[in-house]
Amino acid sequence: MAKVAFIGLGVMGYPMAGHLKTKGGHDVTVYNRTTAKAENWVKQFGGAHALTPADAAKDADFVFTCVGNDDDLRAVTIGAEGVFSSMKPGAVLIDNTTASADVARELYAFARDKGCGFIDAPVSGGQAGAENGVLTVMCGGDEAVFAAAKPVIEAFARMIGLMGPAGSGQLAKMVNQICIAGVVQGLAEAVHFGKSAGLDIEKVVEVISKGAAGSWQMENRHKTMNAGKYDFGFAVDWMRKDLGIVLNEAKNNGASLPVTALVDQFYADVQKLGGNRWDTSSLLARLEK
């Protein structure tokens, strides 16, 4: 059992912290900007909550962060009441935020100067994956620190891999989002085409999903897409944030991402339809407007 702090109890962080307590058996202290949510977490899982990130991280062996973006991450780590102001030497910060590779490298250097470890560890699997404890975790950092952190991360993951040095986890998450963007747009066009042609989408998918066209998105989203229901997963606002990170990184490394850039604009169209909180499969909605 380790002493663990978890900073950020959103739709992902709340169940992830819960698995650290119930499945991992760790001594967990949580922090959330909305104190009521932290209090509810303690009522549900036990443990304790703190009023600042620094208070949560004091004496912790492992500190997890899962917040919104680079600025939020800096605020809860290197800010005046951030976790680095109280982390003990040898403690490890594991960041599950989907953020830039630049901020990951920045925090790695900050942690090293403080005598602490750092792993950038963005996750994939969505809210359902977090609730079921079966997330995929892409990590960047030093091998020894990763080896120490992996048994703790396993409480909410089914796949954990070290992708390379600091920042590599975030870069791998960008690869993940590029793949998803293309696949969802292809599925949206396929469903739209099939319906326009008068086909029974359920019958078509039953057949083609067993062949080369099959995908997680097809298996898990075609029914809701066909029904015009888009409240079953990762929100469009979050996807646009992630694709913004991807496209900015592509400018830095020279990668050409024409399809990703186009799909990002398609998601902007969905936002104009009022679909900010619809799930990413709502690309179909802009084709059927």
Residue 140 CB-half CA count within 13 A: 28
**pLDDT tens digit string along 111-127?**
999 999 999 999 999 99
Please, which contacts does 218-221 make with residues 24 or more away whose CB atoms are closer than 8 Å? 218/187, 221/184, 221/187, 221/279, 221/281
Residue 26's Cβ-count burial label (10 Å; 0-12, 13-18, 19+) is: buried
- The residues facing 279 across adjacent strands are 235
pLDDT of 92 reads: 98
Active site residue 173: yes
CATH number of this structure's domain 3-164, picked from the four choices 3.40.1010.10, 2.40.128.720, 3.40.50.720, 3.40.50.300: 3.40.50.720
**pLDDT tens digit string along 228-265?**
999 988 999 999 999 999 999 999 999 999 999 999 99
Catalytic residue among 173, 203, 229, 272: 173
pLDDT of 33 reads: 95
Nearest C-alpha neighbor of 236 from the set 169, 284, 170, 288: 284
pLDDT of 289 reads: 87
pLDDT of 245 reads: 98
**pLDDT tens digit string along 197-214?**
999 999 999 999 999 999
CATH superfamily for domain 171-273: N-(1-d-carboxylethyl)-l-norvaline Dehydrogenase; domain 2 (1.10.1040.10)
Residue 34's Cβ-count burial label (10 Å; 0-12, 13-18, 19+) is: exposed
Residues in the chain, pLDDT under 50: none
Q: Residue 80 CB: number of other CB atoms within 10 A? A: 8
Domain spans in the chain, listed from the N-terminal domain onward: 3-164, 171-273
Helix or strand or coil: residue 87?
coil
